[in-house]
Amino acid sequence: MLVQFGTCRLELVQGDITRQEVDAIVNAANSRLAGGGGVDGAIHRAAGPTLMAETRTQHPDGCPTGSAVAASGGLLRAKFVFHAVGPIWRGGVSGEVELLKSAYRRCLELAVEHSCHSIAFPAISTGVYGYPIDLAAESSLSVAREFLLTKKQPNLVRFVLFDGGAFGAYARVLEAMAD
């Protein structure tokens, strides 16, 4: 599914983020940037050991929740990996919505700072961190839409949803947004 916002494209695909041919892919990291399971493990495996080595050296203190830091893509097709730290879902009363939005926003800013024309996101926080997929879709797509309409870059923002349920949730929100 593809929607045009001004001169930029926002795209939804179902698949594996490690296989995307884009300038930057986003990792759903933990605040220690210590690696883990889920998409984090898949990205580290695909990028090779240089990703962890560089991340440890450049960001020894980790990254606060709601923010993101950049590293190089190692063996990935992507030039960069942006480690984004989303919130753990605690029922929605602990600032989760704003923290998730700011993690996405920071990644889009990093894309501009690193001259990336294309970026791919997973559904941050919706796995082990338990963020409801419908709410995550609303927050992440509204941040991307607003950023593309105001900053007019990057040219392509792609959301890579791992399963059909997540894809459906994102597609419903994007359809409503594009009306």
The residue ranges that bind ligand ADP (CB under 6 A) are: 16-18, 28, 38-40, 42, 86, 122-129, 160, 162, 166
CB of 56 to ligand ADP, least distance (A): 19
CB of 149 to ligand ADP, least distance (A): 26
Pairwise CA distance, residues 77 & 79, whole Å: 6
The one-letter amino acid at 160 = V
Residue 179 a catalytic site member: no
Give whichever of 7 and 164 is closer to ligand ADP, judged by the CB atom: 164
Give whichever of 135 and 166 is closer to ligand ADP, judged by the CB atom: 166
Tokens of 84: 């984004």
CB of 178 to ligand ADP, least distance (A): 22
Give whichever of 110 and 166 is closer to ligand ADP, judged by the CB atom: 166
Pairwise CA distance, residues 117 & 72, whole Å: 16
CB of 169 to ligand ADP, least distance (A): 10
Give whichever of 24 and 151 is closer to ligand ADP, judged by the CB atom: 24
Each as own residue / partner, the long-range contacts of residues 93-99 (CB below 8 Å, 24 or more positions apart, any chain) are 96/125, 96/131, 97/135, 97/139, 98/66, 99/65, 99/66
Q: How far is CA 73 from the centre of its chain?
A: 14
Task: Please identify which residue in the block is written with the tokens 């941050």.
Answer: 124
Choice among 40, 61, 163, 179 that is catalytic: 40
Catalytic residues: 40
